[in-house]
Chain A
């Protein structure tokens, strides 16, 4: 089944065409337009500007992706769009256009949960992980550990009680004076940092449980940064050292919690998804740790870690093939619990 996927939950407009099933050709085309520059001068995503940009960019991206895949409208058999969680105005653009287009084409539509998209994204790769697995979802908006038994059978094992990991990266980068969004720049800077100079805490690892807390780390970074500024040290090196200490703390914390989650669930497979899962140090150290335990680690290619239409097309495809579809209406669910999703049989939440 050939499914058009649409993602507009935050500041990326993503569109993809996915051909699923045993005879399917897989991912046929995908394109992402990032609004990062639009929001940069405000130091964060401005929701109204995000919505205004999505409606300018979405249809041209759909046309581009159809062109790249060499498909005509008549060959599309379903449309999947992100309905939540995310920014309500941004979500509504994708939902309205996606649902209307499906009506006009006479094909079924499916409202996809953004985080289900992320956690199924590794299924776009070869080899794809088999169920069950434990998923670490780490992005600017979320940090969650999920026990995934099957599509729609999700149990949240732990999540951040305050900042998401990616949010902590961005905020710490801002403290260190890096331009928005500083997360990826912070990770690059950390490469030059001395890992022995500072040691930041590994929050909430001194007690049992799988929840995270990252907001305290930025305070640590702020204090360290103020101190080096007061002491007029070599600021460039100090900035890199603080970045390194911060990154080490986040990565260590994620590693410790993942180890616990895999043990608790008795899992043989771990998947990582979300923007932060593209972090090189995190990937390298997770591979190493899980390899030693005989746990296979899966993650999508970097381009499919951040928000994209391909993961939405895939998640929608699985449900459309199972016969699920939306009524002739649409809507946005800015807050939508992953555990509230049904299974492919339509059974209520596990």
Chain B
């Protein structure tokens, strides 16, 4: 597997992502600078990592979509390439129109960083296809603007298409208001596009992939993606 990790100025989870994919999961990783307008066509998947691209002073992800690399990423996605946005990367995908909906300020108006639990919803997409069915996943969140929102019609359509990938839940897997850390509509934590080649999530699987940190639930998500891509090309 060859993965391209895009680095915007202000990205700050890029090296974490590279470390996990390369050192821990043994994948080939190339770093893609935001000023580049092209990349190697052999890349299997692009990851837009977390951070505060261009400072995120206007609105999270709002400026990154205008960068040269993003034109190429959009083209890559439209041709069926796999694109995965984590946290700020998810925000950028929504801002770019590759994914439906938007990410608003958390309801408590504060940045929140803690471990939360996720339960997969649609089991058809790459990040969820090969996840264990019998338990929730413990994955950290770290964001100020992570409240997912989409209008009713869009949500209905997403449900029908199997585009809702993850919902916030409690340790036992129960989806409830109390388990919703940021006020996301229907506890949504991660989604994909209709074609299921573009996906994004607010929680950080790369922060739950190292055995030495005592939690490897995030690995399961990466491994599911890799397996899916290997099987489906």
A binds B: no
B residues whose Cβ falls under 8 Å from a Cβ of A: none
Interface residue ranges, A against B (CB under 8 Å): none
